[in-house]
Structure 1
Amino acid sequence: MKPTNELKKRDIYLNKLIAFQDTEPVKVITGIRRCGKSSLLRLMALHLLDSGVSPAQIIEMNFESYDFKDMTSDDIYGYVKAKALPDRRLYLFFDEIQRVDVWENAVNAFRVDMDCDIYLTGSNAYLLSSEYSTYLSGRCIEIRMLPLSFAEFIDFHGFEIRESMGALGKVRRRAYDAQGESYELKEVFEAYLRFGGMPGIADVGLDQEKAMILLDGIYSTVIVRDILEREKRRGQRQITDAVLLRKIILFLADNIGSSISVSSIGNTLVNEGLLDDGRKSKPSAHTVQAYVYALLESYFFYEIKRFDIKGKDFLRTLGKYYIVDIGLRNYLLGFRNRDSGHILENIVYFELLRRGYDVAIGKLGDSEIDFIASNADTKMYIQVTESMNSEAVRTRELAPLQRIKDNYEKIILSTDTSLENEFDGIKSINVIDWLIDD
């Protein structure tokens, strides 16, 4: 399995940008560091060139480059204006623009003064804060980018899926690498669960030591640039305790898919002896909330709310948190299999987001449905479990879905589906097949 430096397509995101090409809204691409935002801008620029746009119409600025690192908002405006072409539309690409103070002044001025189409990236949700929204008066669309899906992981790492017919008429799938070596699809999925979906890992190959070095760099950059430095720029100075921040990260990573009360995190850290650096009191609930919110803003964790199916209302207590990339979790906690059920949930949650669903946890009396996924057209209920072979597990997973009386699709996803593919109208689907089949 050789690493590749080829610029790979991310069609799920590129097609969204193309759909909004030459429209008024500013296109804002957000997501955790190193998930592929810069490459997406480059792919969009290449699409424009292929469409007949001249290179002189495309202006690209990466504010993590030394060439632009000390620019002010006025400098950006002057730089672009000097390159403007009379009677020709400009395509402006600004990468990691949140590193420039009051950058929104320049972007808003471009909208007013020039014929241009604007694309931005940022690694922090502060980019879309209320201050920014005020400047653009809602004239922006957000495209939230995630690390690689399993289908993208297969492509980025040079695998090809081939299908054949089994003896009982069931389609079988195997993965083949560039050298023609054959792998069980489950082997490739296990590699995805181990290494995660950060695109940069495809450049170094599935080498554990190199992957951990790359993930360490991503982790450090998120913590320093997008959380600690961000607080300095905003002048708030709420996030100052790097040790506490790491402890909260480890706690959330260790408890993905578990119901968590943010107000109780401080108590748990103290009671379990996790804050052993000599501090005399536990952090306040307000402090913990600020740290958790900073992690959500940096796209390191995502929060999912609980929805009362009977009462048809969101509940304010005991949401869950999922980590944006399983590889980052393995970097933080080491490799282990004891909570593989929650790891599967984590994978499914982000796949649902990629597919454009709004996702909530379902509560029905004392029962819980792992995910309610809905969009403008439909809704479905999903349970995630490792295996459906055990009678006890089948009963446990089916019972909450059987209590739901509407006619929306109900699915159980597992790595081992047993011989039956349906129970009382509830589909049982292999999660690996589901991840590949969009």
Structure 2
Amino acid sequence: MHKRKLFDELELHLKQKQATVITGMRRVGKSTTLKYLLTKITHPNKLYLDLERVENRALFNQNSYTDIERGLQALGLNFDQPAVLALDEIQLVANSTSVIKSLYDTYDIKFLVTGSSSFYLKNHFSESLSGRKQIFEMYPLDFEEFLTFKNEDTSTLKAERFQTFLPIYYDRWKGHYEEFLQFGGFPEVVLANSESAKINYLKDVLNAYIELDIKLLSDFSVSDTLYKLIQLLSTRVGSRIDHSKISSLIGLNRNKIKDYMHLLEYTYLIQVVKPLTGGIDKELSKQPKLYFADTGLLRVAGQVSSGALFENAIANQLARVGNINYFEKSSGTEIDFILDKKKAIEVKETCTAQDLATLSSRAKMLEITDVTLIGRHPNTGNFVNFIWGGSIF
């Protein structure tokens, strides 16, 4: 098993009474993580239940908590001793949080829980399990984890994190980074042995996302229409979201489009980047930008340019580092990303000295002096004052 960065934090939380709640998109490795954590429990009084299995859902859907307890005991859980119960994909059982709360308050039981919707877990859990849980978000692999899954030594990669372009370093890792851009960071995609296997797996992930997660959490019953919406959004990566225009193109009510956009965000398919403004009212009046949470999924969802794919990847990479916004004046002057409101970043497939001068000039409008270019390919004119994309993690 390949270890994820999140594992250390999760292992520490095993010692806490609070429920350990892992949320993230389907197939990012939540189930594998749950099983890994169970191996760290030294006593035998532990049980794993996959709620995608109908018999396990039937157990938790019983009206009587006593009958649920009896069922768990029949499966080997002893409530007279400290116990660990791992529940996979709890969003599939509507009353799961009520059951967890009852058992949590009654017995010495540690819950390990996963779910595929941040909206369901953050909001529903906040109401039902206030003070009784801690939520951990899991995403597709970052580039460092990607290399670990490829059994590569990442020590030199760590040494060059956020450093300016170094040709020998680029030559060492460029092949892996290009694969990372093209196919993303889903663990099973990374481990697949052929391009066709990777593409087929990504298509399966997208189909399962639409047919299982979205249908479960919404009234969106027309899969073809939802797929068309996702395809349409894939062509707008890095662009401001115009709900009215999308509504006219897809043939759905504007407010409905906004609702489904929120759902796509809550279920981790997309992330939105808000504009950097002087106040919340101005922020609400300006349109956010859209990015897919995984570049592999972006590619199977629709046609995307090389530059948009790279910008999408950098948006995801920077989001793991800090908070990101974008900046744009009414005149059209724009900065791709503002990191933690203090670093101005421009993304170019090939960076030039003029790009750096332009970025520095634009950043002055925000009184920001810390500016960075992020590039994908070396500059034939030997310009090296930029950070290669593979160094962002």
Q: Is TM > 0.5 for Structure 1 vs Structure 2?
A: yes
In proportion to residue count, which structure has more strand? 1
Q: 1:430 aligns with which of 376, 388, 391?
A: 388
Residue type matched to 1:299 in 2?
Y
CA shift, 1:240, in A, is 2.5
| Residue 373 (structure 1) shift | 2.7
Q: CA RMSD in A?
A: 2.8
Structure 1 residue 8: deviation in Å? 0.9
Determine if the alignment matches structure 1 residue 240 to structure 2 residue 227. Answer: no
- Give the number of the structure with larger relative contact order, counting CA–CA contacts within 8 Å between residues 6 or more apart: 2
Please state whether the residue corresponding to 2:169 is helix, strand or coil: strand
- In the alignment, what sits opposite 1:272? none
1:61-90 Cα distance to aligned partner (Å, 9 max, x none): 111235524332446543445544466422
- Contact 2:237–2:312 (CA under 8 A) maintained in structure 1: yes
- Whether contact under 8 Å (2:26, 2:205) holds in the other structure is yes
The CA distance in 2 between the partners of 1:381 and 1:58, in whole Å, is 49
State the aligned residue count.
377
Counterpart residue identity of residue 91, structure 2: Q
| Matched AA of 2:324 | V
Q: Which runs of 5+ in 1 are unaligned?
A: 1-6, 165-169, 175-182, 232-236, 270-274, 276-281, 423-427
Unaligned 5+ segments in structure 2 are 158-165
Percentage of pairs with the same residue? 23
SS at match of 2:363: helix
Deviation at 1:117, TM superposition (A): 2.1
Structure 1 partner of 2:101: 108
Q: 1:212 to 1:401 in 2, by over 3 A?
A: same
Mapping of 1:34-433 within 5 angstroms?
A: 34-46=27-39, 48-49=40-41, 53-54=42-43, 56-65=44-53, 68-73=56-61, 74=65, 76-81=68-73, 83-85=76-78, 88-128=81-121, 130-160=123-153, 172-173=168-169, 184-205=172-193, 207-231=194-218, 237=219, 239-267=220-248, 269=249, 282-308=251-277, 314-333=283-302, 339-355=305-321, 357-363=322-328, 366=331, 367-374=333-340, 379-389=342-352, 391=354, 393-406=355-368, 409-416=370-377, 418=379, 419=382, 422=385, 428-433=386-391
User: Distance between the aligned counterparts of 2:377 and 2:330, measured in 1?
Assistant: 28
Q: Give the whole-Å Cα distance in 1 for the aligned partners of 2:136 and 2:79.
A: 30
Alignment partners' CA distance in 1, 2:151 and 2:6: 20
What TM-score, normalized to structure 2?
0.85
Native 8 Å contact 2:85 2:112 kept in 1: yes
Contact 2:359–2:371, Cα closer than 8 Å, also in 1: no
Deviations 1:333-390 (A, max 9, x none): 25x6xx33322222122223333x222223466433322333xxx9533222212226
Question: Does the CA contact (< 8 Å) of 1:63 and 1:69 recur in 2?
Answer: yes
TM-score (norm 1): 0.77
Match of 1:167 in 2: none
Residues in 2 aligned to 1:137 and 1:163: alpha-carbon distance in whole angstroms = 43
**What CA distance in whole angstroms lies between the structure 1 residues aligned with 2:70 and 2:294?**
39
The aligned amino acid for 1:120 is V
**Distance in 1 separating the partners of 2:113 and 2:123:** 17
